[in-house]
Amino acid sequence: MQYADYTLWQRDLLGDPSDPDGLAARQLAYWRQTLAGAPEELILPADRPRPAEPDARGGSVSLRLPAATATRLRELANRAGTSMFMVTHALSAALLHRLGAGDDLPLGAPIAGRGEEGLDDLVGFFVNTLVLRTDLSGSPSFTELLARVRETDLAAFAHADVPFDAVVEAVNPPRLPGRNPLFQVMVVHRNHVDEWSGLAGLRCEDEPLDVTTARFDLVVELLDGPDGELDCLLTYRAALFDRASVELLGRRLVTLAEQVGAGPDRPLAELELLVGGERERVLRGFNDTARRVAELTLPEAFALQVARAPGAVAVIDGEREVSYVELAARAGRLARVLSAKGYAPRASSGWRCRARWRRSWPCSRSTGSGRRSCRWTSTIRRTGSRT
């Protein structure tokens, strides 16, 4: 079989998209229904908004999950009847969900496209792209999320024959320059990374390359290592993310994976995402507001403010503004009037003020009369005016 034979076979398999009984029409109907109302764009923890012009600059960050964590994740996949790709999908969705992406997450995933045994040894491009719409509503545990992911992924795999371009055309989402339609985050799991047994007599090894471009906003990729560990590769769009932010995102993913492996039945909302000294900084650093404050009475504090900022606004009543120095002058005049009428310090007196801002006089006049406290009692007249 040659690649040209495959293209002819695929065309015959899909049939005419306009034929409602054809495979292409049935699969496109599935994707229109599945992706109806899906978010146009995920809310990601980016450092910058998307630029108006397309920008393909990218970078990558690599890190390693501990072998014990990788073992627990594989055991979890076996118990749940899922693949490690589904675990990767669920981990990525859980992380983005906890970072504010929402409950409805359409994620992209590549599929090999070699479903027929006769294609195993055929050289050619067969990869297709699927959109996996992930439901995280209801605060599920990771075990519950993994069950949802399994159902979603199996249904998508069963409708993977129709090309992604045809799905985009059928769903017809809004387009933006530089934004991938239907999804912006891709999840990938690669197994047997270092297996080169098919090249007998040749010594082969992976040679890492620096990533300088990005097709998607973010790609989360887990790779099986030769000794049972899991390597994680995060590829990002540099126009949106700083490298330091993606490194932090990777550490959060490792922390989440460790907790999922240790307690998969805990609700996702209870899983810890803080890394390093973040918990100490949030609980104590951000709340360390202690400062020395002078022990002053109200009259002393008022006099200090008058001396420090005499022209600053002390009272606002509608469009009327009174400065500290003006308020102090009025309070001084009032204090002298009271003293002349025989009012001594700590004596009680009643006031009837027509303007609300004048109510500040009796408190501020204590600076001049020696009073240390002020208490307001308001009554409501039958006419509704306040005295």
88's tokens: 């990767």
pLDDT digit string (tens) for 109-161? 999 866 666 666 677 677 899 999 999 999 999 999 999 999 999 999 999 98
Residues 6+ apart with CB under 8 A from 18: 25
User: Could you tell me what percent of the chain has a pLDDT over 70?
Assistant: 82
pLDDT digit string (tens) for 77-96? 999 999 999 999 999 999 99
User: Rounded to 5, what percent of the chain is helix, strand, coil?
Assistant: 40, 15, 45
**Alpha-carbon distances, residue 15 vs 29, 125, 254 (angstroms):** 14, 20, 45
3-193+209-274 maps to CATH 3.40.50.300: no
Residues 6+ apart with CB under 8 A from 12: none
Report residue 292's pLDDT band, with 50, 70 and 90 as the boundaries: confident
In 3D, which of 38, 37, 15 has the Cα closest to residue 28? 15
CATH architecture, domain defined by 298-369: 3-Layer(aba) Sandwich (3.40)
Residues 6+ apart with CB under 8 A from 277: none
Report residue 382's pLDDT band, with 50, 70 and 90 as the boundaries: very low
Nearest 10 degrees: Cα torsion 294, 295, 299, 301: 20
257's tokens: 């994976």
Q: Give the integer Cα–Cα distance in Å for 152 and 147.
A: 9
Q: What is the pLDDT of residue 373?
A: 43
Residue 24 has pLDDT above 80, yes or no: yes
Q: Give the integer Cα–Cα distance in Å for 38 and 133.
A: 8
- Evaluate whether 196 touches 204 at the Cβ level (below 8 Å): yes
What does the domain layout of the chain look like in residue ranges? 3-193+209-274, 298-369
- Evaluate whether 84 touches 263 at the Cβ level (below 8 Å): no
Output DSSP code: residue 49. P
Q: Give the integer Cα–Cα distance in Å for 361 and 367.
A: 10
Encoded amino acid at 50, one letter: R
Q: In sequence order, which ranges of 158-242 are alpha helices (DSSP H)?
A: 164-171
pLDDT digit string (tens) for 214-270? 999 999 999 987 777 899 999 999 999 999 999 999 999 999 999 999 999 999 999
- Evaluate whether 61 touches 248 at the Cβ level (below 8 Å): no
Q: Which residues of 266-275 are buried (b: 16+ CB within 10 A; e: fewer)?
A: eebeebeeee
Predicted structure pTM score: 0.72
In 3D, which of 183, 43, 188 has the Cα closest to residue 107? 183
Q: What is the pLDDT of residue 127?
A: 84
- Evaluate whether 127 touches 109 at the Cβ level (below 8 Å): no
Nearest 10 degrees: Cα torsion 352, 358, 360, 362: -50
- Evaluate whether 72 touches 228 at the Cβ level (below 8 Å): no
Which residues on neighbouring strands pair with residue 79, listed in sequence order? none
Helix (H, G, I), strand (E, B) or coil at 237: strand
When comparing pLDDT for 107 and 192, which is higher? Answer: 107
DSSP string, 53-106: S---BEEEEEEEE-HHHHHHHHHHHHHHT--HHHHHHHHHHHHHIIIII-SEEE
> How many other C-beta atoms lie within 10 A of the C-beta of residue 202?
7
Q: Give the integer Cα–Cα distance in Å for 141 and 164.
A: 31
When comparing pLDDT for 348 and 230, which is higher? Answer: 230
